[in-house]
Structures are given as structure tokens and as C-alpha cells.
Amino acid sequence: MTTSFGATNTPVFNDPKGQIGSFQRLKSANSFALSFHTRPVHVFSASNRTLIRAVSTPAKPETVTEPKRSKVEIFKEQSNFIRYPLNEEILTDAPNINEAATQLIKFHGSYQQYNRDERGQKSYSFMLRTKNPCGKVPNQLYLTMDDLADQFGIGTLRLTTRQTFQLHGVLKKDLKTVMSSIIKNMGSTLGACGDLNRNVLAPAAPLVRKDYLFAQQTADNIAAMLTPQSGFYYDVWVDGEQFMTVEPPEVTKVRNDNSHGTNFPDSPEPIYGTQFLPRKFKIAVTVPTDNSVDLLTNDIGVVVVTDDNGEPQGFNLYVGGGMGRTHRVETTFPQLALPLGYVPKEDILYAVKAIVVTQRENGRRDDRRYSRLKYLVSSWGIEKFRSAVEKFYGRKFEPNRELPEWEFKSYLGWHEQGDGNLFCGLHVDSGRVAGKMKKALREVIEKYGLSVRLTPNQNIILCDIRNSWRRPITTILAQAGLLHPRYVDPLNVTAMACPAMPLCPLAITEAERGIPDILKRVRAVFETVGLRYSESVVIRITGCPNGCARPYMAELGLVGDGPNSYQIWLGGTPNQTSLARTFMNKVKIHDLEKVLEPLFYHWKRKRQSKESFGAFANRLGFEKLQEMVDKWEGPVAASSRHNLKLFADKETYEAMDKLAKLQDKSAHQLAIEVIRDFVASQPNGKSE
């Protein structure tokens, strides 16, 4: 194993200003011109250090006009590897930081926000996002995050769609304390945001199986290889203190390899250089059939390929997925990743690095709306893109191997790990850990010393549970409303929402705060049109078109496009392999039933055997669906023969209603579930 330090002896200059070459164009080891324009920029002061020289950003010859660049590119260039002016701004008495620092702090895993519900002077705070490859959270880190939420946040933890924590409401004066606490307790926020590789996804299930373990190790290795090396994160938050980590020697070897001109050989950032990537970069690793990671929404999708004995042999690669877009700008769009090729297992890090470098060298840096990898792949076409990657990879890709059908796997409930222990997957509505749930999770995780996994569907998995602990853990969780998934509304199980209002500055309307009521209304529509309680559709809601909750993969996606207004997307599938399309614009929240009732009514009556709502929408076509909505006059009245009175007295109703509220249900819904479960538990489904 090779030892790697979180903070390196990055050379910087004692004088607050140094001369750093201005960015002209990214060129690495094969650059033909090494001319620089110099300009004074501030650098992080530290004793016994020398000047950083931006050897990673050589210019074109002086006769070539400098290409247009976005403001963020200039901030990066002048930042001394993401230090200045953030290192000065966090020390001022102001509650906020300036524009340049606001962009740079993203690379450190934080966004500046303010409470949009409050009028008058802005109330600034910061959101911190952790980096947890595969969603792995050690016991010590979970307890630390739980404490920090109470001491410095808003008393809640947010589980994200990329298997990380978000901690909201941290004041600027507390940033350094919170960041250093995370770092010193086995955590990190480095690269959770910003123009670099984000958290690497992998199936969260702690299954002791060769393919799952190999996928998770690969995700860990990719994350390590693409972690910034210049030490800026530790210089800013722990005063350059060194935190030793251990990485496999093959990670260090591939990162440093420059045999195909991928690296900046004299730079503190051998892969990223001074400019890092044009925009954020997302990677997911999984095994065949398991699409718990929304594989095709990532810049790179990596799939383990095994032989007949389950031994990993290599990987299928997919490139160019991404969700973000801008309303009514048709040149921006969501896109599914396309097959790139197959690589043997020993080459995976070289191949991933080659893809990243291709984006670094060729992705647009003038207009950030078009800077994601998907636009490069779309512009070039997959054949040209493959050829470009192969130059940095040093060999040809083989054709992708055939794979079985994908499935969405939630891993909720109790399961065998395969090593004698159990794991328990718990549903968390919109990933918000708060109140009784937060206290119960803390009690269980602390008492039994459990490690945790976060899922890409905003849920949490408790790992390494002994069989003898199952009953007491179940009791503690149930008392806080964390119940077996059979007691969770099927609509809630697959639903997702981004935080949106009041803290996200990009939100146009509600998402997390609005989804509980919207799901109840959808359930009511199901009952109105005669759909069974066990039936469901994948619903995802975002407050803006950036797509953090991946609404463009949903069967029913609601994307904020105005105050209390949503764009409706239809056509995704339950296994997350089809892209939805825009169905209607600017549907007011109070008009949702006018759209959903006819759609669900006709789905129930005109669908083919086992046809999902998304597949039904695609088969009929949007013109026909629009006609159904326009002509809707309400469902045909259903027979009243099943309209049974469930509660004989007020006391019984009130007791059931109290329990139902813990599960965010109505008393009627919970009573029906209890009766259905009781009948199903009897021999032949009949009561004795």
C-alpha cells in the first residue's frame, strides 16, 4: 500500500502576491508552447514555503487571441489552486464571502446560501456536503455529523441522491470548526462540489459477494485517483495539518503515469492543473442488473463484468449522461450515457483517467451551461469521442459485453449480508433525518457500534447487525416511525425530491417541502380512479431544472418552472433506463389532479399486462395523452359495494390516526394496510 497525505508540502510564497501564468488553453505534457503572461495574484501565506508556478497551464503563442472564458475560469486561475481569496474571506467579520470565494468554496464541499423565507437583510449560512464513496459512513463519522447538525446546523441531516450528507445552516464563523471536526473524524467534504470529480456512487448494499465488493473497491479507487493533490483543502481548514491516508499502490501508479500525455508533470495537481475540469463530473460503478445508482445519468457509468463463476473480468463503460438543463433553452438537455466500450479489469483506472482528461482538454470553458461532458459527446458523436479517449488511454476499446436487464433495487428491510450478519435498509422521506427518527438512529448506531451506508435514493442502511440485535433494534426504530417497508406507501418508497426552498438559491418553487402533500394527493387520485394501493409510479420533484433529484428519469417528473408551478415530464421507467420527455409546461400546483386523474384513469383501463405508467405513456404518445387530459370530465362513478365503515367508535379512530401520522398516512390508509396484511398472513389468505 502507498501512503498519501491529505495535505502536501505545496510550495507557496510568503509574500501575499505571486506571479502565476494566465490560462490560455489546457495542454499537458505534450504542449508545444510554454509561454506565459504573468499577472499578480494573491496566494496563501505560510511559513517555510516557496512560490507555486502554474506550469500546468502553458499558453498558446502570443499571436493567438485568448479564447473567451467564463468568470469562474478566471477565479480558478487566480486562486493559487483554490486557496485565494477564500482563505482571507473566511476570516472577516462579514456573515458572507465575496463572489470569487463563493465559487471556490464549492471545491471544498460547501455552498453559500441564505434563507429565502425571511424578508429584509439576507440571513447567510453555508451548506456542507460530505464525500462518501459508495455511501460508506464509519460509525465515528455518523455520530460526528449527528452532533454537528445539532450544535452548528439546523438540527437535521440531509441524505443526498449521491450517497452523501448535507449539513445546512452553518454560520461562517463556525465553518472552520465544523470542517475540521469532519476531517478529524474520518470524513471529508473535499470535492463534494465544484469543477472536479464528485462523489463516486456504488451499490450501498453491504453484500459479501465478489462482484459487489469489487464494484465498491473500484469506486473507492476511482475516488482516490481523482482526489485533488495540492493540499488546498487542508491548508484552509486545518492550517496545513497532515492527515495520512492509505491508498492501493495501483492508484498512485495510475495517477502519476504520463505515458500518454495525460498529466501536468510539474504541477501540484497532475490531473487537474490550475483550471480543474470545465464543470462537475459524476461517476457511478455497479454490477449487472443493479441500477440502484441511476447508472446512465452519470458522466461515466462503470459496470463490473464477471465470468460464469462470478469472477470479475473487466468493465463496460458508458459516457455522457447528465440531468441539468435550462427551461425553454432547447440547446440544453438531459441525456443518457452511451456505450463507450469494454476494458479488462486491470485497465479501469487508466480508462477512467483518459475520459476525464478528454473532457478536461476539450470541454467548453466559455459558457458553463454547455460545459458538461454530455455536450461534448453530443457535439462530437460517440465515435469521435471514443477515438479521442483512446489516444489518452493508449489502446482501443473492445465492444461492450452483453448484460441482463436492469432493475431498481432499494435494499429496504432486513437482509443477510453473506457473512453471518444482517443489514437493515430504512426509508427516509426526501432524505431528511430529523426529530424522533434522528434520535432513534443515533441511539441504535451508537449503542451497537454500527457503520452506515447511504443510498442514491436518499435512504439509509444500517450494517453489520448481529441476529440477536434484530428485535431490540426493530423496536427502537418502530417507535420512531421507522417501519418495515411493507408499511411505507409504495409511492413514497421510490419518490425523491431536492431540498429547494428556502435555502437553495436556484429553486423556483417547492420540492422537499411540497412532496408530502403531492404524494398524498397522488394516492387520493389512485383511489379515485380505482388503482390498487400496491401499485406505484416513480415520482421525482425538483424546484428548478438543474435536476438534482434526477426528475428526467421519473415516470412522473415535476420540475419547478415558476412560483407554485411545475413542468410535467412523463416516460421514464421503473428501472431507470429511459429518459422522460416534457409533457406540459407551467401546471399550477392546485391543478395537478386535472392532469393526473385522466392519465392514471386511462393507464388503469388501457395498459397492457404489467405495463408501467412510463411505458404506457410512451406507447400511447403524448398527443393522445394530451387529448385525454383536454377531454377529461371525471371518472365513471365506482360501485359503492366496497365502501365499508372501518371505525366503529371515535376512540379507535383517534388511536389509529395518531399511529398513522407517524408514518405520514391517513387513518384510513393505515387501517386498510393492517387489514390487508392480516388477511394475507392467514392460511390461503383466509381468516380462521
Q: How many residues does the chain have?
A: 688
Tell me what percent of the residues of the chain surpass a pLDDT of 90: 81
Please check whether residue 272 is in contact with residue 232, taking contact to mean a CB–CB distance below 8 angstroms.
Answer: no
The pLDDT score that the predictor gives to residue 33 is 33
Lowest mean pLDDT among 20-34, 107-121, 620-634: 20-34
> What 3-state DSSP class applies to 206?
coil
CATH of domain 413-487: 3.90.480.10
Round to whole Å and give the CA distance between 517 and 664: 10
Element (H, E) at 211: helix 210-225
Amino acid at 400: N
Question: What is the tens place of the pLDDT at every residue in 333-342?
Answer: 999 999 999 9
The pLDDT score that the predictor gives to residue 683 is 55
Round to whole Å and give the CA distance between 431 and 455: 10
Question: What is the tens place of the pLDDT at every residue in 168-197?
Answer: 999 999 999 999 999 999 999 999 999 999
Residue 658 pLDDT grade (very low, low, confident, very high; cuts 50, 70, 90): confident
Phi-psi sector, 567: left (phi>0), alpha (psi -120 to 50), beta: beta
CA distances from 309 to 203, 399, 419, 515 (A): 21, 22, 19, 44
CA distances from 645 to 28, 82, 641 (A): 74, 65, 11
The pLDDT score that the predictor gives to residue 28 is 53
pLDDT tops 70 at residue 457 = yes
Residue 660 burial (C-beta neighbours within 10 Å; 0-12, 13-18, 19+): middle
Round to whole Å and give the CA distance between 50 and 153: 38
Element (H, E) at 328: none
Question: Span 561-574, mean pLDDT?
Answer: 97
Residue 619: closest CA among 609, 629, 633: 609
Domain 197-393 matches domain 413-487 at the CATH topology level: no
> What 3-state DSSP class applies to 388?
helix
Round to whole Å and give the CA distance between 543 and 512: 8
pLDDT tops 60 at residue 162 = yes
Question: What is the tens place of the pLDDT at every residue in 667-688?
Answer: 777 777 777 666 555 554 444 3
The pLDDT score that the predictor gives to residue 520 is 97
Question: What is the tens place of the pLDDT at every residue in 385-430?
Answer: 999 999 999 999 999 999 999 999 999 999 999 999 999 999 999 9
Cell reading at 350:
487508466
Given the DSSP bridges, would you call strands 422-426 and 312-319 parallel, antiparallel or unpaired? Answer: unpaired
Question: What is the tens place of the pLDDT at every residue in 580-615?
Answer: 999 999 999 999 999 999 999 999 999 999 999 999
Please check whether residue 138 is in contact with residue 428, taking contact to mean a CB–CB distance below 8 angstroms.
Answer: no
The residues with which 565 forms a beta bridge, in sequence order, are: 562, 588
Domain boundaries defined on the chain: 197-393, 413-487, 493-631, 640-687
Round to whole Å and give the CA distance between 491 and 549: 15
Question: What is the tens place of the pLDDT at every residue in 242-260?
Answer: 786 789 999 999 999 999 9
Higher per-residue pLDDT: 464 or 43: 464
> What 3-state DSSP class applies to 326?
coil
422-426 sheet: strands from edge to edge: 136-137, 452-454, 460-465, 422-426, 413-416
Round to whole Å and give the CA distance between 112 and 454: 24
CATH T-level fold of 493-631: Sulfite Reductase Hemoprotein; domain 1 (3.30.413)
Does a cis peptide bond (omega within 30 degrees of 0) precede residue 85? yes
- Strand residues in 287-430 grouped as ranges (E): 300-306, 312-319, 338-344, 413-416, 422-426
Question: What is the tens place of the pLDDT at every residue in 34-52?
Answer: 333 333 333 333 333 333 3
Round to whole Å and give the CA distance between 280 and 453: 23
Round to whole Å and give the CA distance between 16 and 33: 29
Tell me what percent of the residues of the chain surpass a pLDDT of 70: 86
Round to whole Å and give the CA distance between 575 and 488: 20
**Radius of gyration of the chain from Cα atoms?**
26
Please check whether residue 300 is in contact with residue 318, taking contact to mean a CB–CB distance below 8 angstroms.
Answer: yes
Question: What is the tens place of the pLDDT at every residue in 624-647?
Answer: 999 999 999 988 765 444 444 566
Round to whole Å and give the CA distance between 56 and 76: 13
Phi-psi sector, 7: left (phi>0), alpha (psi -120 to 50), beta: beta
- Output the average pLDDT for the chain: 89
pLDDT tops 70 at residue 96 = yes
pLDDT tops 90 at residue 314 = yes
Residue 553 pLDDT grade (very low, low, confident, very high; cuts 50, 70, 90): very high
Round to whole Å and give the CA distance between 176 and 174: 6
- Strand residues in 488-598 grouped as ranges (E): 496-497, 539-542, 556-562, 565-570, 581-588
Residue 409: closest CA among 394, 393, 423: 423
Cell reading at 243:
492527515
Residue 68 burial (C-beta neighbours within 10 Å; 0-12, 13-18, 19+): exposed
- Strand residues in 571-670 grouped as ranges (E): 581-588
Domain 197-393 has CATH 3.10.20.90: no
The pLDDT score that the predictor gives to residue 13 is 31
- C-alpha count within 13 angstroms, C-beta hemisphere, residue 532: 3
Higher per-residue pLDDT: 67 or 349: 349
Given the DSSP bridges, would you call strands 312-319 and 460-465 parallel, antiparallel or unpaired? Answer: unpaired
Residue 27 pLDDT grade (very low, low, confident, very high; cuts 50, 70, 90): low
Cell reading at 387:
477515438
- The model's pTM is 0.86
The pLDDT score that the predictor gives to residue 243 is 81
Neighbours of 41 (CB within 10 A): 18
Round to whole Å and give the CA distance between 429 and 339: 33
- What CA dihedral angle connects 209, 214, 216 and 222, to 10 degrees? 180
